Amino acid sequence: MVQDIPVLEAGLHLGEDGRVRCGWHGGLPDYLLYHDTEWGFPVDNDRRLFEKICLEGFQSGLSWLTILRKRENFRRAFAEFDFHKMTQFTEEDVERLMQDKGIVRHRGKIKSAINNAGRAIDLIAEKGSLAAYFWSFEPQPKDRPARFDLAAYKANPLTEISTRISKDLKKHGWSFVGPTTVYAFMQAMGLVNDHLEGCYCRPVIERLRQDFVRPA
């Protein structure tokens, strides 16, 4: 039984509610909620996709928990990640954001998010939607491990596909979208199901992915 597998070996954690989960949430309530209700759930909303890839860029060199706890501040600071509004940001807005203690005050990342808003609009004009673009890169089952346990996860921190997306985004003028950032985005937005075998969310996500209508 899953409960008998040592947590550190299996990467799993038995919660106080009796549910077995991926252990990376560390039992922290906000991180646990994110694991249970967001991470890996398939997303086809352009604004949510744009927000996530921007926040993954801000995470670079930091932890996702740091960004998660500042997420509402980021939303407020960046016009709810409405990329049309963000393209109107000026140097004054950059300076305003550099003074905002509620977000990560990194000039390069701030300017990157603003730049990427314009690039998102260009990509939508070319591909129809961000959702159609990103989901066109969804890995096929044959390209995924037959059993996704901790060993498979450690052996697969990146994929050829995340590298390909990264290169293509950069070709389209995006920044702070390296392969590690892109793979974290793929995990979170449901392009892959990286909940570990034994985590109660894994079959939930599998059912959602089966019913999910891929954007075209």
pLDDT score of 6: 44
Q: Is 199 annotated as a binding residue?
A: yes
Residue 180's contacts (CB-CB under 8 Å, 6 or more residues apart) are: 60, 157, 158, 162
Contact by Cβ (8 Å): 60, 176 = yes
Q: 46-59 vs 179-188: helix axis angle to the nearest 10?
A: 130
Q: Domain total for the chain?
A: 2
For residues 126-133, give the mean pLDDT: 98
Q: Is 106 annotated as a binding residue?
A: no
- Identify whether residues 61 and 160 lie together within a single domain: yes
Model pLDDT for residues 143-167, shown as the tens digit of each residue: 888 889 888 888 776 789 999 999 9
Task: Note whether residue 188 is domain-resident.
Answer: yes
Domain around 13: 7-38
Q: Which has more pLDDT, 61 or 53?
A: 53
Q: Is 22 annotated as a binding residue?
A: yes
Task: Please give the model's pTM, rounded to 2 decimal places.
Answer: 0.93
pLDDT score of 4: 45
- Identify whether residues 82 and 183 lie together within a single domain: yes
Model pLDDT for residues 12-60, shown as the tens digit of each residue: 999 989 999 999 999 999 999 999 999 999 999 999 999 999 999 999 9
- Identify whether residues 147 and 168 lie together within a single domain: yes
Task: Note whether residue 172 is domain-resident.
Answer: yes
Task: Note whether residue 183 is domain-resident.
Answer: yes
Q: What percent of the chain has pLDDT over 90?
A: 84
Model pLDDT for residues 165-185, shown as the tens digit of each residue: 999 999 999 999 999 999 999
The residues annotated as belonging to the active site are 34, 56, 64
The whole-chain average pLDDT of the chain stands at: 93
